[in-house]
Structure 1
Amino acid sequence: MTTMESLDEIDHAILELLQTDGRLTGAEVGRRVGLSQPAASARIQRLEKNGIITGYRAVVAPAAVGLNIHAVVRLRTTHAQLSRALTLAARTPEVVSTLRVTGDDCLLFDVHCSHAERLEQVVDSLARYGPVTTSLVLRGYPPKSLPTAPSATP
């Protein structure tokens, strides 16, 4: 298994490029990092095989597809209810990501709904497993790429 320590500068550069634009061709990646297309493609395949690159996807603007309400729902539950809450979240299309967290809450859900009534239904269904706190998102900011090289300062 490849670890962050076993990645060289070119691997880190490839990861940064693909996080910004996952549609770059092997030839374009190679050109930008100073490798031939076959060498760049081989490195990308190695990064995929070793589980460092886990996939590629299109990023969709929620409002453009009618999902005008964005909320973060936090759930405080018991260990006995945790798997049921996770199963419900996985079956609920409006829950686009789930994080298990430490602190007062156990789970954090990123929820996109078309209207307030549907958000209410999603929140009520999650509330069967414990107290929920819902926050409406006023604005989102573009995600940053993950750092691919160890930082020099903490």
Structure 2
Amino acid sequence: MAAAQMISKKMVRTTMESLDRIDRDILTLLQAEGRLSGAEVGRRVGLSQPAASARIQRLEKSGVITGYRAVVDPAALGLHIQAVIRLRTTHAQLARALDFASQTAEITSILRVTGEDCLIFDVHCPEAGRLEEVVDALARFGPVTTSLVLRSYPSKPLTSATPTAT
């Protein structure tokens, strides 16, 4: 592991251990509503706007908050089929499989996992024929297992899994 990655992980670990209840409340709010103003965040957690903004900036600078983004409904973009594809590949094929996945627009997330499978892909396609093409292309790298997603449920905020500061 590169020195910069080790320092970064160490900094985040230290920061996570030092989060108090207000920090966790701020993280929960921003994960649900990332466009809240500092004043509104402060009002909801019982801080002044400057104090809330300072905490948010500290969470950003320490790497706990890594960005803000819009959450888009895939169906609104005509992507009506969602699937999870698991790939079992070899170490020799791993880099090529990751390169292919990074260049395939329908693959929206990639997880490298332990166990029998190596990679798990979240895939959004407009129709079954395109899903078939993506599955066939991934199968060049090893056996695939495809599961259609029937429904997706909202993610829980990460702060609910963080230890409480003492």
**Which of 132, 150, 153 pairs up with 2:163?**
150
Aligned length in residues: 151
Q: Distance in 2 between matches of 1:33 and 1:129?
A: 49
Runs of 4+ in 1 over 6 A off after TM superposition: none
**Which of 54, 57, 66 pairs up with 2:69?**
57
Q: Is the 8 A contact 1:15 1:148 kept in 2?
A: no
What residue in structure 1 maps to residue 118 of structure 2? 106
**Which of 29, 34, 47 pairs up with 1:35?**
47
Secondary structure of the structure 2 residue equivalent to 1:45: helix
Pairing of 1:63-142 with structure 2 (within 5 A): 63-142=75-154
Q: Distance in 1 between matches of 2:48 and 2:74?
A: 38
Q: Distance in 2 between matches of 1:16 and 1:141?
A: 17
Q: Which moved more, 1:64-73 or 1:139-148?
A: 139-148
Q: CA deviation at 1:149?
A: 3.6
Q: Distance in 1 between matches of 2:154 and 2:139?
A: 30
Q: CA deviation at 1:28?
A: 0.3
Q: Distance in 2 between matches of 1:115 and 1:143?
A: 25
- RMSD over aligned Cα, in angstroms? 1.2
Q: Is the 8 A contact 1:18 1:24 kept in 2?
A: yes
Q: Which moved more, 1:53-62 or 1:1-10?
A: 1-10
Q: Distance in 1 between matches of 2:15 and 2:62?
A: 9
Secondary structure of the structure 2 residue equivalent to 1:99: strand
- TM-score of the aligned structures, taking structure 1 as reference length: 0.94
Show structure 1 runs of 5+ residues with no match: none
Q: Distance in 2 between matches of 1:63 and 1:85?
A: 27
Secondary structure of the structure 2 residue equivalent to 1:82: helix
Q: Distance in 1 between matches of 2:140 and 2:75?
A: 28
What residue in structure 2 maps to residue 25 of structure 1? 37
Which of the two has greater helix per residue? 2
- TM-score of the aligned structures, taking structure 2 as reference length: 0.87
Distance verdict in 2 for CA 1:78–1:107, change over 3 Å: same
Show structure 2 runs of 5+ residues with no match: 1-10
Partner amino acid, structure 2, of 1:16:
T
| Identical positions, percent | 75
Q: Is the 8 A contact 1:16 1:148 kept in 2?
A: no
